[in-house]
């Protein structure tokens, strides 16, 4: 990954036209120049020119970036603001360290699968005892972000699963969110892949993909996690590593960049090239059936799919194969405001951004909202609940499983 | 800001959270798309007209300059606080107060985004034609303050032609109300024309009454390709002589097309000398005949090829190419000087030739776009602000370009405004009398010269 000073040339390419102000979800709520790419780029430029320290104020402004890349796509000179923001956060982290809560999250929770499960277990415990009702209002709202948790994690379920052998092997990356919150998505993905004749290999010694570490400039841990995931797949004998999580997918596709100039670079790049979104893998392997599901679905494009992996048509092809009626929402590719952990650190702002998304969803009249990122899914479900909407949120593969008769 | 008591009075006036004084904040309000920049001492974000009044009174009493700012998308330097003081950020004025379908007008606050307003009125079958390039970001207040124009200007005019009235806070804090919902109004001096385009030097707009027209039923688009620019110019004149007024007549020269094709390939004829994108709009029954007629006229005048879009997709493809022009240029150089020198339509070939000669003489790259219907040319100088020697050549070329345009009976600015960089040419166009009249108007309204100082008019010492 490029360091801040290596991005100087990109910074100078900003012509300050303000195109980013028309598309930035944060700017449309805060309406202040510090909350949009043009301002952030200028602040970083002044820092590199020696006119401004990397202050806590500046870090706070840089933290207000969702990394959704809407500005990059609409930017006339294509300034990579997402990279600039990440590099500036990394530089700040090296000099000043991370704020305490984030430090704990990055180092003590997200780093180790068992800790993440343990953290969620304690949520379950708190909930079952009704203690969450005693939380202060703000904390209660944030706690409510997390949906109802399943009885068993996928890792626990896997012990009782008999995976089929097949002619061709495909790898599947077990994301933290799926493992702990949406294990049914992986179960259904396995069903479909096996139905199509594939043998699914799921290494359980994988760890967090490192998206949050990458995002908040904790590159030491990001590399550490990347090494472990690369090692976990090293002996699996698979060419393709599938994931149903857009964020994990795009993060793992950038592992190569984490090791530029280091001895692991080649191996990391090979790994990154093998990472593929589940929708992309499935889109041309499905046969449209004769019994369409009689439901209307609308689809939300995760930023990490549509703008990091250029995935737009593929999930729609999967939905078309299921035979649902797709009713496109306005601004389907506009960020939902989840931003990984943005919704935890900036809850109220995140909810304002989410309101617009939910309004666009509501206008479609759809009964199902499909998306391909567990982080978006959590955010969207939270928004629907806040607005009293009854739509179900699913991954396209869950509808596919229903269509193939592989539902519950 | 040095004056702590002013800061605390401002905080009382608009709320603590709406007065920004941290260095990080000031940096974010120190620039616009031109290479100029200067830090303000504070950024003030008022929420209603009373707050603007209070801010202006406080600033005037303290002798502190005030620079109004919409979306900061102008390309003349007009929203840069060159003398420090306050930046008055108007984006909280974002309400569309009324769309009056009976009187075909709308009342809006000054911070409403142009494109948002357009889509709201178009949903009602109405039309607000002014279309500056930055319409997705710009504010209506900023458009009125700079009298912004755009490609549709030839047929539909510019922002000024749609301003029926406004509310403005004058430099001393008094509220000026001009015009209203009537189309006809000859009561006294035409203050609308005076204040529209005054670039924040005479006061700050807070509310606008804008004229609307019915949305045209349909439109058709074509691209005419030429092997020499004289044929292109002749064609434009011939189309107008045939009594057809297209919505747009967008000129692209060879260098512009090459840049577009390099970054966003869309099938433009890069081996031709120039292409003109022509669009007509109006009644469904008339528009198809007009586009055919234009095609014939262009062919007769020597067009090499005529591409008439048969479907909306084809029309979009032609427009996509034209719209990619700016981003292609932005990707090819870190600094752009986007000029808007304007000449009588008949002088376009001469102006194009002059610009090409200047580019060669000063060894700079200057692709040319232009709204040929109204003679408004956009030579875009591709350069790098970090290379002082090259910038020196660029500035010499610009000086000569303006001299040539004025000699042809043209004007310094067709639609961007004077701002900072063109102040030094004002007397070339207006003469001492012209500048003196403008200066007297400025002094009458702003005797302490605190309202967006340094813009539009040269100070007496600069002459």
ipTM rounded to 2 decimals: 0.93
Q: Hey, what are B433's tokens?
A: 């009398």
Most B-contacting residue of A17, A30, A52 (CB-CB within 10 A), to test interface: A17
| C-beta atoms of B386 and A32 within 8 A | no
Give the DSSP letter string of B409-421.
T-BS-SSS--TTT
Residue B304 falls inside a structural domain: yes
Q: Mean pLDDT, 10 residues at a time, over chain B (463 residues)?
A: 90 98 97 94 98 98 97 95 98 98 98 98 98 95 96 94 98 96 90 96 98 96 93 89 93 93 90 95 94 96 95 91 87 91 91 94 94 91 93 96 96 92 94 96 97 92 53
pLDDT score of A288: 64
Chain B residue at shortest CA distance from A62: B24
| C-beta atoms of B24 and A31 within 8 A | no
Residue B17 falls inside a structural domain: yes
Overall domain count for chain B: 3
Q: What is the CATH number of the domain that holds B304?
A: 3.30.70.3450
Mean local confidence (pLDDT), A51-64? 92
Burial pattern B39-55, b for ≥16 Cβ within 10 A else e, equals: ebbbbbbbeebebbbbb
For domain A296-403, give the CATH number.
Answer: 3.40.50
Torsion angles phi and psi, residue B74, rounded to 5: -65, 155
Q: Hey, what are A339's tokens?
A: 């931003």
When pLDDT is cut at 50, 70 and 90, the band that residue A407 belongs to is very low
Sheet containing A325-326: order of strands = A325-326, A296-300, A368-371, A392-394
How many Cα atoms are found within 13 Å in the side-chain-facing hemisphere of B437? 5
Percent of chain A with pLDDT over 90: 69
Residue-wise pLDDT tens digits, B24-62: 999 999 999 998 999 999 999 999 999 999 999 999 999
Residue-wise pLDDT tens digits, A132-188: 777 777 777 777 788 888 989 999 999 888 899 988 999 999 999 999 999 999 999
Residue B272 falls inside a structural domain: yes
Q: How far is CA A130 from the centre of its chain?
A: 30
Chain B residue at shortest CA distance from A12: B334
| C-beta atoms of B335 and A32 within 8 A | no
Torsion angles phi and psi, residue B256, rounded to 5: -60, -45
Q: Virtual CA dihedral for A354, A359, A361, A362, nearest 10 degrees? A: 140
> Going by C-beta distance under 8 Å and a sequence separation of 6 or more, which residues neighbour residue A60?
none
* Residues A157, A183 contacting (CB under 8 angstroms): yes
Check residues A291 and A149 and name the one with the higher pLDDT. A149
Could you say which of B89, B106, B127 is where a domain stops?
B89
What CA–CA distances, in Å, run from A285 to A195, A299, A301, B406?
11, 20, 21, 66
Residue B429 falls inside a structural domain: no
For chain A, domain boundaries: 4-95, 100-143, 154-282, 296-403
Q: Hey, what are B91's tokens?
A: 């984006």
Residue numbers of the domain that contains B37: 4-89
Beta bridge partners of B251: B276, B370
Residues of A in contact with B31 (CB under 8 A): 16, 42
| C-beta atoms of A16 and B32 within 8 A | yes
Residue B389 falls inside a structural domain: no
Lookup result for tokens 């996690």: A225
Q: What is the third-level CATH fold of A4-95? A: Fumarate Reductase Iron-sulfur Protein; Chain B, domain 2 (1.10.1060)
Q: Are strands B204-211 and B274-282 parallel, antiparallel or unpaired?
A: unpaired
Q: Hey, what are B367's tokens?
A: 């692709």
Lookup result for tokens 């078309």: A320
Torsion angles phi and psi, residue A124, rounded to 5: -60, -45
- For the A154-282 domain, the top CATH level (class) is alpha beta
> Going by C-beta distance under 8 Å and a sequence separation of 6 or more, which residues neighbour residue A21?
A27, A36, A38, B71, B137
């Amino acid at each position: 990954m490029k360091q801040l000073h290596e991005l100087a040339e990109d910074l100078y390419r900003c012509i300050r036209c303000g195109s980013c102000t028309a598309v930035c979800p944060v700017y449309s709520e805060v309406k202040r120049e510090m909350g949009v790419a043009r301002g952030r780029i200028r602040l970083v430029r002044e820092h590199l020119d020696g006119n401004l320290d990397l202050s806590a104020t500046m870090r706070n402004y840089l933290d207000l970036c969702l990394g959704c890349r809407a500005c990059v796509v609409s930017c006339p000179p294509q300034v990579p603001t997402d990279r600039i923001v990440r590099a500036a956060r990394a530089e700040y982290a090296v000099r000043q360290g991370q704020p305490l809560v984030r430090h704990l999250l990055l180092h003590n929770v997200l780093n180790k699968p068992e800790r993440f499960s343990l953290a969620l277990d304690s949520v379950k415990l708190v909930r079952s005892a009704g203690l969450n009702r005693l939380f202060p209002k703000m904390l209660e709202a944030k706690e409510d972000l997390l949906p109802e948790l399943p009885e068993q994690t996928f890792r626990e379920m896997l012990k009782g699963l008999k995976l089929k052998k097949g002619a061709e092997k495909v790898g599947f990356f077990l994301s933290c969110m799926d493992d702990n919150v949406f294990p049914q998505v992986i179960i259904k993905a396995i069903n479909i892949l096996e139905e199509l004749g594939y043998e699914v290999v799921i290494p359980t010694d994988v760890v967090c993909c490192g998206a949050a570490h990458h995002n908040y400039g904790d590159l030491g841990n990001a590399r550490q996690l990347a090494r472990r995931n690369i090692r976990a797949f090293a002996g699996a004998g698979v060419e393709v590593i599938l994931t149903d999580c857009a964020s994990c997918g795009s993060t793992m596709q950038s592992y190569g960049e984490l090791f530029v100039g280091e001895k692991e670079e080649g191996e990391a790049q090979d790994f990154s090239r093998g990472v593929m979104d589940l929708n992309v893998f499935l889109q041309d392997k499905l046969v449209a059936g004769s019994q369409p599901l009689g439901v209307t679905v609308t689809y939300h494009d995760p930023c990490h799919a549509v703008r990091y992996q250029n995935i737009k048509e593929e999930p729609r092809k999967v939905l078309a194969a299921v035979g649902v009626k797709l009713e496109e929402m306005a601004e389907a590719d506009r960020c939902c405001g989840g931003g990984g952990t943005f919704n935890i650190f900036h809850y109220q702002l995140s909810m304002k951004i989410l309101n617009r998304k939910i309004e666009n969803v509501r206008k479609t009249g759809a009964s199902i909202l499909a998306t391909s990122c567990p982080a978006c899914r959590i955010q969207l479900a939270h928004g629907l609940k806040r607005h009293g909407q009854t739509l179900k949120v699913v991954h396209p593969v869950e509808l596919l499983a229903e269509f193939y008769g592989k539902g519950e | 800001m040095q004056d702590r008591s002013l800061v605390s009075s401002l905080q009382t006036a608009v709320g603590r959270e709406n007065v920004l004084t941290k260095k990080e904040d000031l940096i974010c309000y120190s620039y616009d798309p031109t290479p100029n920049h200067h830090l303000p001492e504070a950024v003030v974000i008022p929420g209603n007209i009373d707050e603007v009044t209070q801010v202006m009174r406080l600033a005037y009493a303290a002798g502190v300059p005030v620079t109004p700012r919409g979306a900061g998308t102008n390309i003349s330097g007009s929203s840069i606080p060159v003398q420090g003081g306050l930046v008055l950020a108007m984006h909280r004025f974002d309400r569309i107060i009324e769309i009056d379908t009976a009187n075909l007008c709308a009342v809006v606050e000054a911070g409403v985004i142009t494109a948002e307003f357009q889509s709201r009125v178009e949903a009602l079958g109405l039309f607000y034609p002014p279309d500056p390039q930055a319409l997705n970001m710009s504010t209506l207040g900023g458009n009125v303050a700079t009298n912004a124009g755009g490609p549709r200007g030839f047929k539909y005019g510019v922002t000024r032609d749609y301003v029926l009235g406004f509310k403005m806070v004058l430099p001393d804090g008094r509220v000026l109300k001009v015009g209203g919902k009537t189309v006809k109004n000859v009561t006294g001096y035409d203050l609308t024309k005076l204040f529209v385009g005054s670039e924040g030097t005479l006061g700050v707009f807070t509310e606008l009454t804008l004229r609307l027209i019915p949305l045209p039923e349909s439109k058709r688009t074509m691209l005419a390709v030429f092997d020499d620019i004289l044929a292109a110019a002749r064609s434009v004149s011939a189309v107008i002589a045939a009594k057809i007024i297209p919505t747009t007549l967008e000129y692209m020269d060879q260098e512009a097309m090459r840049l577009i094709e390099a970054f966003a390939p869309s099938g433009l004829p890069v081996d031709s000398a120039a292409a003109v994108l022509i669009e007509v709009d109006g009644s469904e029954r008339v528009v198809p005949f007009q586009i055919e007629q234009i095609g014939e006229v262009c062919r007769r005048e020597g067009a090499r090829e005529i591409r008439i879009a048969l479907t909306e997709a084809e029309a979009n493809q032609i427009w996509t190419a034209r719209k990619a022009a700016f981003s292609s240029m932005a990707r090819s150089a870190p600094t752009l000087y986007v000029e808007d020198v304007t000449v009588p339509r008949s002088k376009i070939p001469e102006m194009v030739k002059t610009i090409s000669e200047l580019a060669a003489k000063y060894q700079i790259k200057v692709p040319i776009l232009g709204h040929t219907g109204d003679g408004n040319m956009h030579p875009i100088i591709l350069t790098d602000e970090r290379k002082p020697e090259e910038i020196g050549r660029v500035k010499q070329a610009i000086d000569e370009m303006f001299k040539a345009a004025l000699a042809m009976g043209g004007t310094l600015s067709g639609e961007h405004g004077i701002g900072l960089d063109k102040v030094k040419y004002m007397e070339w166009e207006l003469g001492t009398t012209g500048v003196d009249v403008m200066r007297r108007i400025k002094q009458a309204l702003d005797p302490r010269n605190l309202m967006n100082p340094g813009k539009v008019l040269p100070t007496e010492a600069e002459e």
